[in-house]
Amino acid sequence: MSTENEWPLWEVFVRTKAGLDHKHCGSLHAADARMAVQMARDVYTRRQEGSSVWVVRSDQIVASDPGDKDMLFDPAEDKVYRHPTFYKLPDSVDQM
């Protein structure tokens, strides 16, 4: 069976309520952007889980390679001085 007539895949991001980030929640197939938004509404927000949705064609997303995970993210491991807890201050000013 050929798959060239399959509707393209879209990634769906939902903002659960005003003031929060849009968060990735899944994907779906739709023929075009408008249909993707409509279907995202039906598939991912049937119980008021959202107040706004974004859809992005899955083939438009550029992701980091899991093979590069160590190279990309490990260098931050030994930089403890980037965290406020690294600095020991006198008790009287420690709420800083």
Partner 1 sequence: MYTQAMDTMREEGGQPALRTAEEAALQQRFDNRIDAGDFIEAKDWMPDNYRKTLLRQISQHAHSEIVGMLPEGNWITRAPTLKRKAILLAKVQDEGGHGLYLYAAAETLGQSRDQMLDSLHSGKAKYSSIFNYPTLTWADVGTIGWLVDGAAIMNQVPICRCSYAPYARAMIRICREESFHQRQGYDSLLAMMQNGTEAQKAMVQDAVNRWWWPCLMMFGPPDDQSPNSAQGMRWGIKRVSNDTLRQKFVDATVQQAQVLGVSLPDPDLRWNEATQHWDFGTIDWSEFWRVVGGEGPCNRERLAMRVAAWEEGEWVREAALAHSRKQARKEKAA
Q: Is 48 left (phi over 0), alpha (psi -120 to 50) or beta?
A: left
Give whichever of 63 and 96 is closer to partner 1, judged by the CB atom: 63
Facing residues of 54 across strands?
A: 13
- Determine, following the binding rule CB under 8 A, whether residue 37 of this chain makes contact with partner 1: no
Angle at 47 between CA 41 and CA 52, to 5 degrees: 40
The stretch near partner 1 (CB under 8 A) out of 14-22, 24-32, 74-82, 83-91 is: 24-32
* Residue numbers at the binding site for partner 1 (CB under 8 A): 1-3, 5-7, 9, 25-29, 31-32, 35, 42-43, 46-47, 63, 65-66
